[in-house]
Structure 1
Amino acid sequence: MNKILTLTALLLACLACKTPEARKPESVRTGSFIDASVERNKKLNAKEQALIEHIISKNGDNTYIASENGFWYHYNTKTDEATGFTPKYGDIVNFSYNLKDLKGNFIYPETNFKNLDYAMDRQELFTGLREGLKLMKSGETVTFLFPSQKAYGYYGDENKIGTNVPLICEVTVNSITKSQEN
């Protein structure tokens, strides 16, 4: 009887020390939301690119350049390559610009954004314009075609520019003042 009790106690001790098993989840989620978002953004990007390419093809007088940053531009006024310089980090750029929708309707005329001073990459400015200013020299005027992700994107400007609105932006750089660091 003693042997049976010892064997039973030993068996119970072994079974009581069993490691806990992980529970299986009730539902398995996949990246379906992210996949749907990616698909929506691809369609939006393709639609905006088609609209921009249509504008470029209609405007055969100007030679548009595709930037490495995902927007298109052409020079209205270009300075000589040998003269002038493009702004670097910290330089103060004095410029004016206007914003239009892709149909050419003014959203903000130049009077809203005239003679602004911008410390290059030290102040807030929408992505496309910040990258576009880096391509310009003093005295140049450039027309940019920004897809919505390079303009104000999903949120807009919370005023006149809505969600996912591509823009036409005409920018004139009045002057560039080098910073003390450069």
Structure 2
Amino acid sequence: MPKFFQTEVLSFRKALYYMRKIICVLSFAAIASCAKQNPVQNPGEQFMSESEMEVSKNRTKDLNNLERTQIQDWIKSQDVKYYPMGMNYWVNIENLEQKPRKNNGEKVSYQYVIYDFDRSKLYDTSIGNTDVVFGRFQEMDAVEDVIRYLNKGEEAEILVPSVLAYGTYGDGKKITNDMPLIIKVKVL
């Protein structure tokens, strides 16, 4: 083989070698870029701006203040006395928070009935659960809180602002949005 061709073949091999390196580096970069996935946003998901969050927070605060005032006015017209609890609801048992409180991990069975503030029963059957573990409740926070103070066989009536009940959306059935509730609870 003439020397000229040997040089050309050698140059061709060098060029091929560098092209393989470039292809390998580019392939690695392409694979690496595929591995990093950006989170997919659900088309139905919406994010709120800071100003929208502030408006929502103020709306909730104003609604809670309005409901507290309305519930306190309602309490004044009742023969039964109700006492405020630290979580922002009222109960018909004086000094309930001074009783021993059950801890997370303990089990309890209970049932409750939901009423509106006209004392109309919203559901015909009571809602109940057996052997539920404190700390793993899926009920309203006010229901769990009051049950922590009650002993077997004891009952309580609680007045719950909407923010501690079903909130802005209601339950999609008989409890409308922003609806405060009266709940009669019994530990079984």
Normalised TM-score (structure 1): 0.66
For CA contacts below 8 A with separation 6 or more, give which structure has more relative contact order. 1
Which residue in 2 is equivalent to 1:45? 64
Contact 1:92 1:118 in 2 (8 A): yes
Matched to 2:91, the amino acid is: Y
Q: Does 1:144 align with 2:154?
A: no
Distance 2:183 2:61 in 1: 23
Higher strand residue share: 1
Aligned to 1:156, what secondary structure does the other structure show? coil
How big is each residue's C-alpha offset from its partner over 1:40-72, in whole Å with a ceiling of 9 and x where there is no partner?
11221122112211221011x322111111111
Task: Give runs of ≥4 in structure 1 deviating > 6 Å.
Answer: none
| More helix per residue | 2
Q: Secondary structure at the match of 1:144?
A: strand
Task: Look up the SS of the partner of 1:106 in the other structure.
Answer: coil
For residues 130 and 117 of structure 2, the distance between their equivalents in structure 1, rounded to whole angstroms, comes to 24
What are the ranges of 5 or more consecutive residues in structure 2 without an aligned counterpart? 1-48
Is the 2:83–2:93 contact (alpha carbons within 8 Å) kept by the matching residues of 1? no
Q: Percent identity?
A: 28
> How far apart in 1 are the matches of 2:137 and 2:129?
16
Q: TM-score, normalised by structure 2?
A: 0.64
SS in 1 for 2:122: strand
How far apart are the structure 1 equivalents of 2:106 and 2:70? 34
Q: Within the alignment, does 1:55 sit opposite 2:81 as a pair?
A: no
Unaligned stretches of 5+ residues in structure 1 = 1-29, 175-182
1:1-182 → structure 2 map (5 Å cutoff): 31-59=50-78, 61-75=79-93, 86-109=101-124, 111-114=125-128, 116-174=130-188
**Distance 1:107-1:118 versus aligned 2 partners, 3 A rule:** same
> RMSD across aligned C-alpha pairs, in angstroms?
2.3
Q: Which amino acid in structure 2 is aligned with residue 56 of structure 1?
A: I
State the Cα distance separating 1:99 from its structure 2 match: 0.2
